[in-house]
C-alpha cells in the first residue's frame, strides 16, 4: 500500500506473548499433536522460539507469570489445574539467558510482582538479566491481585489502592538502587593502585519509607539500561496513574479501536500532566491473529484448531478475568433465557450477531479458549494487516502483544506471513540494527537509559544528591 | 599408581568453584592481562567455562552468592568495593540455562539463602531450574550472617541459633512443596476427557508454622529430582546438626587432613544418629591447586600469578572470615612484635615455618589473595594428585571444591593436567554416563530422588498423608 514516495509511516512494535505454562491465553491446545506447549519446562522450546522470533525480526518476547491458579470458576482451582490453564507455571527469569545466548537482537520482557519480594532481590536479578542480555530486558510490573498467590507467599493480601501506593514506593527504592547508587564512572580499573572500583562513587542508599526499609549500596554495577524497560498493564484509576508515572510500555485490551482511543488519550493526558512526553508512552494491544495464505485457509485453520479448544478451560480464564463464575451457568442454554446475576452480566457483554445469534456458556468458553475474546482476527496477511493498521490509526496504538493459539504454529505464521506483509506496507522495519537495547528498540538508538522526563530519572546518580526526592 | 588388577578405588568428586563476581577466593587477579574474571557479567564467560568443564568431565560447577559486602576490615565495605572482593555480585541463578543449553553432563550448584525470600518463591525457582537443566541442579543452603545483607534486604538480622531453627522449618516447607504436593502420576494427559492434570493428585499444602505460613499447591509439576541436590557448609554446632539432617553434600575447610578426619567422623556420626547412612553425606574440601607440567613450572606460575594478588583484598577476605580486623595491624611488622588482640589471635594461626620465619599482615593478605589459606597446593599433576589422595584417604573425604587463581587459567589446568593424572590413578571416572542428574552423579544411576533415609523423604507424596510430620 505504501510506496517509496510517501513519507515514512509510523513503525509498529511487535511482541510475541507467551508464558512458561501449558495453556496461556488459548487453552486446551496441548491436545493438538503438533503443539509443544506442554514442553516449555525444557530449554529446547525456548531456544527454538527465540531463534524463530529473531529470524522474523520480532521486537521482543514477553513472558507472563503468576503465583496462583485461577479460582473464580467453581470457587476453586480444580478446573484450572485439570485443564492446565496457566498451571503449572515455571519461573520466567530462568530460560532468558539460554535464549539470549542464541540471539543478538531479540529483547525480553518478564512479569514480576512488587508484592512478594524485597526490592533488593528484584533489583539484583534484573540488573543481572540486563547485564547478561546486553541490555535486552524489560520488566512487566504487576502488583498482584490473586488471593491464591498471597496465600502461597504467606502474606496477607494488600488492598487494591494500597497495593499501588506500596508499588510506587517499591519503584522509587528500585530507582535509587538502579539509577542512584553507582556513578557512571565508578568502575575505575587501575592496575597501578590495585583499584577496581572507586567506592566514593558508589552511593549508599538509605531508604526508610512507609513500606520499605533498606540500607545498602546496589550490589550490581550499572548494567546497560540500569532500569529495565518498564511495562505495565492496569485499567483501574490507580493502575492508570501508576502507569502514567512509571510505565514506558503499556499493555491494553479493548473491544474496539474507538473505545481504546479514548483510553489511550486519557492515559497520555495524565502522563503529560506529570511532565512526561505523552508520546513516550507506548501502547501494546493484546492481539491473537490466526493467519493463512488466504482468508479461506485461515478460516479452515481456525476451525481445525478449535477442535482442541478447552471449553471449560476457556471458562476458567473468562471467570478469572471478569469475576463472573461461569460454573453457575448451564453450558448449553441461551444466556438470554437464564435468570441469574451471572447471565445478566453476560448479556451486557455478548450481544447477538448475525454470526452468533444465540450465546451460550459453551460458546463463550470456546471463544475464550481460542484467545478470541480480546481482539483477534482470522484471515490472510492482508486481512490481518488491515485490521492492525486500523487499530494503530484509530486508537493511536503503538504495537501489539501477539498471542498464539498453537506453539509452534501461530508465531511461525507471524514470521512467515504477517511480518512480510507489514514490511511491504512500510510499517515494520526491514532489518534491525544489531546490538540495540530493549529501550533503544522502542525509543531509537541512543536512548538506552530512562528518558529525562521519566520519574526514575530524578534518582539518577548526578541529580539524586541535590534532590533526595523520597528522603524521609 | 593403580593397576588394572587391584579392586576399583573410591572415585572422587570434583566441583569447580566460582562466583559471579570479580574477585572470588583469589583477589586482585583481574589485573592479569589474560584473566577474564571482570567479564562475568557477560554470558560468554559462563558459556566458555561450562564447555571447558564438560569437556574435562568435571562433576559440577558451584556458584557462591552473597547479598552484602565484607565489612570487618576497617569496619566498612570500602576496601571490599575498591578491590572488587566479592563485589559487585550478580544473581547466580541467571546464567544457568545458558550453560545448560551447551552441556549435557555438567551439573550446577548455586547458593541461596533461607533468610531472605518466601519458601514458595525459592521452591518455584529451583523447580524451574531442575526442569530446565534436566535435573542437573543443586542448592547450597545458607542461612546468611552478614549484617550488611540483612540491611540490604531490609529485615532485622536473625540470631545464629534462631537462624538454623528457622532454616529447618523453611526446609520442611520446601519438602512439602517439592516432595509432598504432586503425585508422580498427577500428569494424566487425556485428549478424550480434555484433562491434563488430575487435580485430586495435587495436594494442597497448608503449613502454619512458627516462622512460615503457606497455603497452596506447588505451582510447578515434579521436576526430575524434585528436591535439588542439597549442599551446605556450616561448622558451628547448629550448622553441623542442620547439615546432618538436610545436607547431601557438605563443604568443608580444614588446616590438615587429620583435623578434618575428626570433623567428618563427628558429622557422619550425628547423621547416623538421625537414621541416615553416614556414607551418604559427601564431603567436599575447598582446595585451590596451582598446576604446572612440572613442580618447577608450577612454582614459577605461582610466583608470576602472585604479582597480581591484592594484599588489601586478601585482608578484606581474611578479616571477613575470621572477624579479625586486619586494618588495625601495621602491614609490614612481624606479628610477634605487635601488642594487640588482633596480633595475639594471629599468632595462634600463623606459626613461623622454615619457608616463612616471620609473619606480617602483608604476607597474610598475599596468602589469602592467592586462595592459599584454605588448602592449596602448587605442583605438577603428580604432586597435586598425591596431596589430594592424602586428603581423601586420611580425612575420609569424598571430593573437592576447586578454587581458581585466574579464570581462564586455573580450570584449564585442572582439565588438561590434573584430570588425566587422577584418571591414570583410577580415582576419577574415565567417562561420564550421559544424562545423569546431579544426585545420580553423586549417588549413582537411579538415585534421582532423595534417598529414603533423608529427612525430606518423610514428606514424599505417598507417605506424607499418613505422617504429617510437621502438621500443626
Model confidence pLDDT, tens digit, residues A203-233: 999 999 999 999 999 999 999 999 999 999 9
State how far residue B309 is from chain A, nearest Cα, in angstroms.
9
Between A98, A213, A219, which is nearest B87 by CB? A219
Tell me which residues of chain A, numbers 105 to 164, contact chain B at a CB-CB cutoff of 8 Å.
Answer: 116-121, 124-125, 127-129, 131-132, 134, 148, 151-155
| Residue numbers in A near B30 (CB within 8 A) | 189, 196
The structural domain count of chain A equals 2
CB proximity A98 to B under 8 Å: yes
Model confidence pLDDT, tens digit, residues A79-92: 999 999 999 999 99
CB contact under 8 A, B81 and A128: no
- What share of chain A has pLDDT > 90, as a percent? 88
Model confidence pLDDT, tens digit, residues A123-165: 999 999 999 999 999 999 999 878 889 999 988 888 887 889 9
Give the contacts of B116 (CB within 8 A, at least 6 positions apart). A118, A121, B67, B144, B149, B153, B155
Residue A367 CA to residue A384 CA, distance in Å, equals 18
- The reply to whether A385 and A357 lie within a common domain is no
**In this model, does residue B1 exceed pLDDT 60?**
no
Residue B425 CA to residue B409 CA, distance in Å, equals 24
- Residue B385 lies inside a defined structural domain of this protein: yes
- Residue A76 lies inside a defined structural domain of this protein: yes
Give the residue from A337, A369, A401 where a domain finishes.
Answer: A369
- The reply to whether B296 and B315 lie within a common domain is no
| Residue numbers in A near B89 (CB within 8 A) | 124, 219-220
CB proximity A259 to B under 8 Å: no
Q: Please, are residues A123 and B187 in contact by the beta-carbon 8 Å criterion?
A: no
**In this model, does residue B418 exceed pLDDT 60?**
yes
- The reply to whether A299 and A316 lie within a common domain is no
Instruction: Domain of residue A349: give its range.
Output: 310-369
- Residue A6 lies inside a defined structural domain of this protein: no
Q: Which domain CATH number covers B35?
A: 3.20.20.30
**pLDDT at res. A9:** 85
Q: Which value, in Å, is the radius of gyration of the alpha carbons in chain B?
A: 23
* Mean pLDDT computed over A303-326: 97
- Residue B43 lies inside a defined structural domain of this protein: yes
CB proximity A68 to B under 8 Å: yes
- The reply to whether B314 and B180 lie within a common domain is no
Residue of A nearest to B82 (CA): A197
- Residue B463 lies inside a defined structural domain of this protein: no
Give the residue from B321, B345, B369 where a domain finishes.
Answer: B369
The ipTM (two decimal places) reads 0.96
- The reply to whether B113 and B259 lie within a common domain is yes
- The reply to whether A281 and A397 lie within a common domain is yes
Between A94, A132, A151, which is nearest B43 by CB? A132
Give the residue from B369, B388, B416 where a domain finishes.
Answer: B369
pLDDT band at B8 (very low <50, low <70, confident <90, very high): confident
Model confidence pLDDT, tens digit, residues B316-359: 999 999 999 999 999 999 999 999 999 999 999 999 999 999 99
- The reply to whether A344 and A257 lie within a common domain is no
Residue of A nearest to B224 (CA): A41
- The reply to whether B318 and B430 lie within a common domain is no
CB contact under 8 A, B154 and A313: no
pLDDT band at A4 (very low <50, low <70, confident <90, very high): low
- The reply to whether A181 and A319 lie within a common domain is no
Q: Decide: helix, strand or coil at residue A212.
A: coil
State how far residue A133 is from chain B, nearest Cα, in angstroms.
8
- Residue B471 lies inside a defined structural domain of this protein: no
CB contact under 8 A, B152 and A214: yes
CB contact under 8 A, A132 and B219: no
Between B128, B129, B189, which is nearest A30 by CB? B189
State how far residue A96 is from chain B, nearest Cα, in angstroms.
8
Tell me which residues of chain B, numbers 334 to 373, contact chain A at a CB-CB cutoff of 8 Å.
Answer: none
Between B43, B116, B196, which is nearest A100 by CB? B43
| Residue numbers in B near A73 (CB within 8 A) | none
- The reply to whether B349 and B395 lie within a common domain is no
Total-model pTM: 0.96
- The reply to whether A365 and A424 lie within a common domain is no
**In this model, does residue A469 exceed pLDDT 60?**
no
List the one residue out of B73, B64, B99 whose CA is nearest residue B233: B64
**pLDDT at res. A463:** 85
Interface test mutation site (partner B, options A19, A21, A97, A166, max chain B beta carbons within 10 A): A97
- Residue A173 lies inside a defined structural domain of this protein: yes
Residue of B nearest to A85 (CA): B196
CB contact under 8 A, B199 and A78: yes
- Residue A465 lies inside a defined structural domain of this protein: no
- The reply to whether A19 and A70 lie within a common domain is yes
Residue A225 CA to residue A127 CA, distance in Å, equals 9
Is the bond leading into A151 cis (omega within 30 degrees of zero)? no
CB contact under 8 A, B134 and A312: no
Between B23, B88, B94, which is nearest A125 by CB? B94
| Residue numbers in A near B125 (CB within 8 A) | 91, 93-94
CB proximity B177 to A under 8 Å: no
Tell me which residues of chain B, numbers 30 to 49, contact chain A at a CB-CB cutoff of 8 Å.
Answer: 30-31, 38, 41-43, 46-47
- What share of chain B has pLDDT > 90, as a percent? 88
State how far residue B90 is from chain A, nearest Cα, in angstroms.
5
Amino acid at each position: 500500500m505504501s510506496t517509496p514516495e510517501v513519507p515514512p509511516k509510523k513503525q509498529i512494535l511487535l511482541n510475541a506473548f507467551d508464558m512458561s505454562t501449558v495453556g496461556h491465553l488459548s487453552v486446551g491446545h496441548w491436545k493438538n499433536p503438533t503443539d509443544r506447549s506442554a514442553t516449555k519446562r525444557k530449554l529446547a522450546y525456548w531456544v527454538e522460539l527465540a531463534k524463530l522470533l529473531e529470524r522474523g525480526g520480532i521486537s521482543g518476547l514477553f513472558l507472563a507469570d503468576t503465583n496462583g491458579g485461577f479460582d473464580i470458576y467453581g470457587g476453586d482451582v480444580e478446573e484450572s489445574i485439570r485443564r492446565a490453564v496457566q498451571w503449572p507455571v515455571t519461573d520466567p527469569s530462568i530460560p532468558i539467558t539460554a535464549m539470549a545466548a542464541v540471539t543478538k537482537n531479540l529483547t525480553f520482557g518478564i512479569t514480576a510482582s512488587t508484592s512478594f519480594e524485597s526490592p533488593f532481590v528484584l533489583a539484583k536479578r534484573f540488573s543481572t538479566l540486563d547485564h547478561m542480555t546486553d541490555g535486552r530486558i524489560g520488566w512487566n510490573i504487576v502488583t498482584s491481585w490473586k488471593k491464591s498467590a498471597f496465600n502461597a507467599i504467606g502474606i496477607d493480601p494488600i488492598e487494591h489502592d494500597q497495593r499501588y501506593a506500596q508499588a510506587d514506593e517499591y519503584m522509587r527504592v528500585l530507582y535509587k538502587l538502579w539509577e542512584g547508587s553507582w556513578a557512571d564512572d565508578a568502575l575505575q580499573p587501575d592496575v597501578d593502585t590495585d583499584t577496581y572500583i572507586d567506592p566514593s562513587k558508589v552511593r549508599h542508599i538509605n531508604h526508610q519509607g512507609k513500606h520499605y526499609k533498606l540500607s545498602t549500596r546496589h550490589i550490581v554495577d550499572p548494567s546497560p539500561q540500569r532500569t529495565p524497560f518498564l511495562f505495565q498493564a492496569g485499567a483501574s484509576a490507580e493502575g492508570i496513574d501508576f502507569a502514567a508515572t512509571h510505565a514506558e510500555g503499556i499493555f491494553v485490551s479493548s473491544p474496539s479501536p474507538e473505545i481504546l482511543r479514548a483510553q489511550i488519550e486519557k492515559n497520555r493526558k495524565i502522563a503529560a500532566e506529570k511532565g512526561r512526553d505523552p508520546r513516550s508512552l507506548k501502547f501494546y494491544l493484546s492481539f491473537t491473529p490466526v493467519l493463512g495464505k488466504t482468508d479461506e485457509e485461515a478460516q479452515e485453520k481456525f476451525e481445525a484448531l478449535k477442535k482442541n479448544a478447552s471449553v471449560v478451560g476457556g471458562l476458567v480464564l473468562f471467570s478469572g478475568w471478569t469475576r463472573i463464575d461461569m460454573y453457575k451457568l448451564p453450558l448449553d442454554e441461551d444466556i438470554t433465557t437464564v435468570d441469574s446475576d451471572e447471565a445478566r452480566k453476560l448479556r451486557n457483554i455478548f450481544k447477538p450477531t448475525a454470526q452468533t445469534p444465540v450465546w451460550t456458556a459453551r460458546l463463550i468458553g470456546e471463544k475464550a479458549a481460542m484467545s478470541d475474546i480480546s481482539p483477534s482476527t482470522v484471515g490472510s496477511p492482508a486481512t490481518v494487516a488491515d485490521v492492525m493498521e486500523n487499530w494503530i490509526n484509530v486508537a493511536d496504538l503503538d504495537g501489539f502483544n501477539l498471542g498464539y493459539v498453537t506453539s509452534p504454529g501461530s508465531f511461525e505464521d507471524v514470521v512467515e506471513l504477517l511480518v512480510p506483509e507489514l514490511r511491504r506496507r512500510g510499517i515494520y522495519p526491514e532489518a534491525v540494527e544489531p546490538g540495540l537495547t530493549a529501550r533503544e528498540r522502542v525509543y531509537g538508538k541512543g536512548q538506552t537509559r530512562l528518558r529525562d522526563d521519566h520519574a526514575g530519572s530524578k534518582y539518577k546518580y548526578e541529580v539524586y544528591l541535590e534532590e533526595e526526592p523520597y528522603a524521609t
